[in-house]
Amino acid sequence: MAKGTVAIVVERCKACGFCVEFCPTKVLALSSAFNSKGYHPPYMVAPEKCSGCDLCGMYCPDFAIHGWKLPAEAKAEAKETADAR
């Protein structure tokens, strides 16, 4: 049950891999999609594990990702979205 989620500014990402590596709950992985510069941005491979700690945001040198804690009522919504995927 996800306590948090992230937003990614795809066009800013340079696929350095910091967020993927240092996410404490391994929520992220580099996707097979790519942005206009040819980089593979991350995506939430395990969104339910996100705690919203924003370590990804602290690490990202390109200001391309950040995380936040979800308010209680939105967690149900996030679960629905994750289930549907």
Partner 1 sequence: MTTAAANPVEAFLRTERMPHIWCPGCGIGTTVNCFTRALIDSKVDLKNLALVSGIGCTGRVAGYVKLDSFHTTHGRAIPFATGLKLANPKLDVVVYSGDGDLFAIGGNHLIHAARRNIDLKVICVNNLIYAMTGGQTAPTTPAHVITATAPYGSFDPAFNLPFLVEAAGAVYVARWTTFHVRQLARSIGEMFQKKGFCFIEVLSPCPTLYQRRNRMGDGLDTMKFYKEHSKTKNGCPTCEVALSKQGEIIVGKFVDRERPDYRDLMREQLAAELGERFVEQAELVCQ
CA 62/CA 49 separation, integer angstroms: 24
Our finding on whether 30 is near partner 1 (CB under 8 A) is: no
Our finding on whether 29 is near partner 1 (CB under 8 A) is: no
45 to 74, contacts with partner 1 by CB under 8 A? 55, 57-63, 66, 68, 70-71, 74
In whole angstroms, how close is the CB of 46 to partner 1 at the nearest point? 18
Q: Using CB atoms within 10 A of its CB, is residue 33 exposed (0-12), middle (13-18) or buried (19+)?
A: exposed
In the complex with partner 1, the residue whose CB is nearer, 44 or 60, is 60
Q: How many helices (H) and strands (E) does the chain have?
A: 3, 4
Our finding on whether 3 is near partner 1 (CB under 8 A) is: no
